Structure 1
Amino acid sequence: MNGKTVMITGATAGIGLATARDLARRGARVAVVGRDEAKTRRVVQEIRTATGNTSVEPWTADLSSQTAVRRLAQEFTQAHPALDVLVNNAGGYWATRHTTADGLDHTFALNHLAPFLLTNLLLDTLKAAPAGRIVTVSSGAQANGRINFDDLMGERAYSGMRAYSQSKLANVLFTYELARRLDGTGVTANVLHPGVVRTDFGKEDSGRVFRALYPLVRLVMTSPDKGAETSVHLASSTEVDGVTGRYFAKRQPTKSSKLSYDRALAARLWEVSEELTGLAAPQSTDGLVDDPGPNRSVR
């Protein structure tokens, strides 16, 4: 990975941190994206000390905010003309419904719309690399996911696990559609299940059932380092040169849910995601996409 530039979102803890540390150890220039500036800077210093790699950079953005995503993409592309690897790792679970600054469901906004928007905004820098790679962290929960276009934001009926599973299926549908759209560009896009990993997953709003079961489930969970292995593999291994539009688990390509291969569903999700992120909106004079306004929803 010497000489390669990698961006990892949600890289200040858990799988993201383990991924950043491993790729830094392999010599990559690593952009560590975190929500809290002080914590991000502290983690970057820890990675530099642990790996001896001084080319580890702190980048701060609350990815649930589309304004923050746009700013991150704009500032990063100004600093780096090419991006070799984008690891869309940030995500989370909330037992109750929360809304973002954009008036969207927090789970769908962070887990799906953030990587959708960030990836699209960084495509030119990925295409500028010799062989750009996009790696998105999904979950085995994608197998239980359904895309409910009639209540995409969970305004009528919210379930934390249903919202999470929907967002993780969206990760897979997005990746497959992205791979099709990037055919012939040299940029690859793959998605993965990291396994059941010991992290702070659901810590902010876990719910009573989750809190009751977590101590038992934790006993069979793997470490963040183990959970990061597939992300690192897809980011760095020559074994996956040119491989695109695949779902991985334990560093091996495998089948995702039957629904995830529905091309019509993927195309519709893409169109809805463009609407919700304002990607089709005209550019403002400062280079950022004009904000279409809060409380956007799709019926």
Structure 2
Amino acid sequence: MKVPRYLMVLTGVGAFSGGVIIFKEILGGSNYTGTERLDGKTVIVTGANTGIGRETAREMARRGARVIMACRDMDKCLEARKDIAWDTRSTSLYCLECDLASQESVRRFARRFNRKEERLDILINNAGIMRCPKSFTTEGIELQLGTNHMGHFLLTNLLIDKIKASAPSRIINVSSVAHARGKINFEDLNSENHYDEGEAYAQSKLANILFTRELAERLVGKLYETPFMED
């Protein structure tokens, strides 16, 4: 019996999709099974309305943290907050506008947070964009570099005194395996002469890694006793 072509195509697509899922599971490692509580801790999660950020905010709330959901789209943030609050029964979830593609928005967020909050125990720099058409931030920075790295670089430095005062504390920068093929193009950092969406994304993720390594060295003895990253 001859198998219909559309069934062969569907079977191939299904096999490919399954392979991608399995590969991602292997690459991502096993799920964390620790039972630590975060009662009394304040956590910021950028890009908390979707994806990794949303699930991170959910887990932080489940463990008892006071979670600040820093998002660009307030409608989506409020919807995510409602979902997480219902799931975790947390009453300590807050939405605060922060558009990483606008340095003025980042500064407003930091001013408001520093004025109203007593401590910051964990900063999770998660928000990001990937492989978008060539475009720029409010300040004219290539959008992927400006959002994924520059925005978080500014946010971290504006909040660093609060983080130090809350020690032992943590800064977590979410990167990507794409950093391994990235390079910092100092001759055309802003991708003005040449733009490749994949290269621009990889550059921004490498910048995340370099920033993290520098922070780890500079903050030894200020946030924690020994460095987390080794050569």
TM-score relative to the length of structure 1 = 0.63
User: Given residue 227 of structure 2, which amino acid in structure 1 is its aligned partner?
Assistant: T
Q: How much does 1:179 deviate?
A: 1.4
**Counterpart pick for 1:60 among 76, 97, 121:** 97
8 Å contact 1:81–1:128 — kept in the other structure? no
Q: Check if 1:244 corresponds to 2:227.
A: yes
User: Given residue 160 of structure 1, which amino acid in structure 2 is its aligned partner?
Assistant: E
Structural mapping, 1:253-272, within 5 Å = none
Ranges of 4+ aligned residues in structure 1 off by more than 4 Å: none
Q: How much does 1:61 deviate?
A: 1.6
Larger radius of gyration: 2
User: Given residue 115 of structure 1, which amino acid in structure 2 is its aligned partner?
Assistant: H
Residues 248-267 of structure 1: CA deviation (Å, up to 9, x unaligned): xxxxxxx8xxxxx7xxxxxx
Tell me the equivalent position of 1:33: 70
Tell me the equivalent position of 1:269: none
CA distance in 1, matches of 2:162, 2:146: 23
Q: Check if 1:14 corresponds to 2:51.
A: yes
CA distance in 2, matches of 1:52, 1:28: 12
Tell me the equivalent position of 2:113: 76
Tell me the equivalent position of 1:141: 178
User: Given residue 119 of structure 2, which amino acid in structure 1 is its aligned partner?
Assistant: A
Tell me the equivalent position of 2:209: 172
After superposition, the CA RMSD in angstroms is 1.4
8 Å contact 1:73–1:118 — kept in the other structure? yes
Q: Check if 1:24 corresponds to 2:61.
A: yes
Q: Secondary structure at the match of 1:82?
A: coil
User: For this pair of structures, how many residues does the alignment match?
Assistant: 194
Q: Check if 1:121 corresponds to 2:164.
A: no
User: Given residue 111 of structure 1, which amino acid in structure 2 is its aligned partner?
Assistant: N
8 Å contact 1:10–1:90 — kept in the other structure? yes
Q: What percentage of aligned pairs have identical amino acids?
A: 46
8 Å contact 2:220–2:226 — kept in the other structure? no
Higher relative CO (CA 8 A, sep ≥ 6), structure 1 or 2?
1
Q: How much does 1:95 deviate?
A: 3.8
User: Given residue 182 of structure 1, which amino acid in structure 2 is its aligned partner?
Assistant: L
Q: How much does 1:245 deviate?
A: 4.5
